[in-house]
């Protein structure tokens, strides 16, 4: 049996894919990777379909023992990673052998890294997906994040050549991140004083999680206090609760919300948001919907022309 065993689970390690689509009407979020960009590239490293399952690793990673030969891909923020106590680089694929121990330690910048395998996990699907959603215990291993001594079984490992992510696709994460945003349906409700503060820095709260990136340090207010009907929300929606601290909804967020929607993160920058560490800072830069669509279309063309990945579906 092809298997890996977690000698250490890491701070928060979970199985995620991009296959849970179409269940929001039942109150089930898509879940999936916080940083879809890095997840897609990790799968490219081992010749998997971009939507295939990976391990999402947050801030401090797991220690994993392999009992079979395979190829792994590691992509995302820069982590201190070793195989058999020998340092390895991320953003590339690496061949591992039975008996090898992969140790992914602390992150050196950003917050998340993705680990892919050139073999399919043997797990039970929930709503057509392996994505872990702990709130109702679906996906992953019994609907939970990885724990010590957990094991994952795999099908036969496929042949895969070692690859490296081109330099033009590798991202660097800065202390202050400028995030592009489109005005939301309730943008006009923001008070005049708060409109002046929209360009100021926000702090990323340590209470951020897979449901949402919580901001503080720059409170905003709405001038119109009328109630808002609950409306559909999605990953990247920027809500403004009554306390005045915006929330950027992320992978495990609810499917509807009743707070004012002041913005929507440009799709091309949602993955960037997911990599901003707690206690770091970000700034909003408002752009038009047309600009946002142009940016994502450029990125899709780049993936297809340079890596052969078709993201048009």
Concatenate the DSSP letters of all residues of 221-251 into one string.
-BS-------EE--TTEEE--TTS--EEE-T
Q: Would the pTM count as exceeding 0.85?
A: yes
In the predicted model, is pLDDT for residue 226 greater than 90?
no
Span 158-190, pLDDT tens digits: 888 889 999 999 988 776 689 999 999 999 999
For residues 165 and 38, the answer to whether their CB atoms sit within 8 Å is no
Span 245-273, pLDDT tens digits: 999 999 999 888 889 999 999 999 999 99
Relative to beta strand 281-287, strand 176-183 is parallel
CA distances from 224 to 144, 191, 242, 260 (A): 41, 8, 12, 10
pLDDT band at 223 (very low <50, low <70, confident <90, very high): confident
- Please check whether the domain covering 176-307 is classified as CATH 2.40.50.320: no
Q: Could you identify the residue written with the tokens 């929607």? A: 261
Highest mean pLDDT among 22-26, 27-31, 145-149: 145-149
3-state secondary structure of 141: strand
What's the mean pLDDT when you consider all of the chain? Answer: 94
Where do the structural domains in the chain lie, given as residue ranges?
A: 2-169, 176-307
Span 71-102, pLDDT tens digits: 999 999 999 999 999 999 999 999 999 999 99
pLDDT value, residue 161: 87
């Amino acid at each position: 049996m092809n298997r890996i065993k977690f000698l250490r689970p890491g701070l928060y390690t979970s199985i995620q894919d991009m296959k849970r689509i179409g269940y929001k009407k039942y109150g089930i979020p898509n879940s999936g990777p916080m940083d879809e960009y890095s997840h897609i590239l990790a799968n490219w490293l081992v010749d998997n379909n971009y939507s295939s399952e990976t391990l999402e690793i947050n801030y401090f990673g797991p220690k994993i023992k392999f009992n079979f030969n395979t190829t792994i891909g590691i992509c995302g923020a820069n982590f201190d990673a070793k195989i058999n106590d020998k340092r390895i680089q991320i953003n590339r694929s690496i061949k591992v052998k039975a008996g090898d121990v992969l140790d992914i330690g602390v992150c050196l910048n950003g917050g998340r890294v993705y680990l892919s395998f050139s073999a399919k996990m043997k797990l039970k699907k929930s709503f057509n997906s392996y994505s872990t959603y702990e709130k109702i215990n679906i996906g992953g291993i019994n609907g939970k994040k990885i724990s010590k001594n957990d094991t994952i079984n795999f099908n036969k490992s496929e042949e895969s050549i070692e690859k490296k992510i081109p330099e033009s696709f590798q991202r660097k994460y800065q202390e202050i991140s400028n995030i592009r945003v489109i005005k939301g349906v309730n943008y006009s409700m923001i008070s005049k004083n708060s409109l002046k503060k929209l360009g100021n820095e926000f702090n990323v709260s340590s209470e951020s999680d897979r449901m949402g990136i919580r901001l503080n340090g720059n409170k905003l207010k709405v001038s119109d206090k009328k109630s808002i009907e609950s409306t559909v929300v999605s990953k990247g929606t920027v809500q403004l609760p009554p306390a005045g601290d915006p929330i950027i909804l992320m992978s495990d967020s609810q499917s509807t919300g009743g707070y004012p929607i002041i913005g929507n993160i440009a799709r091309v920058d949602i993955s960037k948001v997911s990599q901003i560490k707690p206690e770091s800072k970000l700034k909003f830069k408002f752009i038009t919907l047309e600009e946002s669509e142009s940016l994502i279309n450029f990125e899709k063309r780049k993936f297809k022309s340079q890596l052969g990945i078709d993201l048009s579906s």
